[in-house]
Chain A
Amino acid sequence: MWAIVAAALLGAGAGVLAGLFGVGGGVLFVPTLTLVLGLSQIHAEATSLLAILPTAAIGVWRQRRYGNVRWRAALILGIAAIAGVEGGVQIAEQLPQDVLRRLFGALMLLVAAQVAFRALRKPAYSSEP
């Protein structure tokens, strides 16, 4: 019972992250499903994808009302990403995962610094596109 309550609360948190930052929420869904609800990694990843669907749908519905969604760009990004997944799966089987994972982690730190730097350089309430 407590596991379900905890999972629901973490799910709500994942939804806030999804709506706030435009990420799917899988960042929190997958660990919640494995650690709190005891799903295996493969089941958790599949189930997370299903949970992301209504979360993203309702977030997009709200964002449409706020006028923030660029539909054509979103469609191009989404379709290209589906193609990219195929490539990633092929490569994942051939390269040393551990090294790659660390490289990607380091890259994310670099990107985080760039995003922060860009934000600090611009005026706080800029509304340029």
Chain B
Amino acid sequence: MLRLVLIGLLAGFFSALFGVGGGIVVVPLLLLVAHYSERPAMATSLAAVLVISIAGAATYAFHGEVKLGAAAIVGLPAMAGAVAGTALQQRLANRTLSLAFAALLTALGVRLLV
């Protein structure tokens, strides 16, 4: 419980500081600190991201900074992509998932560094 609160706090903190999504922080911490297996870590992170995005979108909507048309152009295909992504996840070995995620983290780390 305390671990999860700390992981959540860190995720929110870093996403506000660097504009990285909460999931990028939540997934590795669930894997390394809370000792989740890959699929539960990634699925639970996505559910946490849903909670965060509800709060975030509500806040921004009041400020009028959301472009609805643009959100639909990227968001609707993304819904189909998410179905494909979750299906793909069930077919991949844990090791493959971790290594691919590590590659994504590396790419983001390099982007932040340079």
Which A positions have Cβ atoms within 8 angstroms of B? 4, 7-27, 29-30, 32-33, 37, 39, 42-43, 45-60, 62-63, 66, 68-71, 73-89, 91-92, 100-102, 104-109, 111-116, 118-120, 122, 124-129
Contact = CB atoms under 8 A, between A and B. Distances in A.
A78 B8 contact: yes
Contacts, number: 400
A50 B61 contact: yes
Interface of B: 1, 4-24, 26-28, 31-32, 34-37, 39-57, 60-61, 63, 65-68, 70-71, 73-90, 93-106, 108-113
A112 B102 contact: yes
Contacts of A115: 28, 31-32, 98, 101-102, 105
Contacts of B24: 23, 27, 108
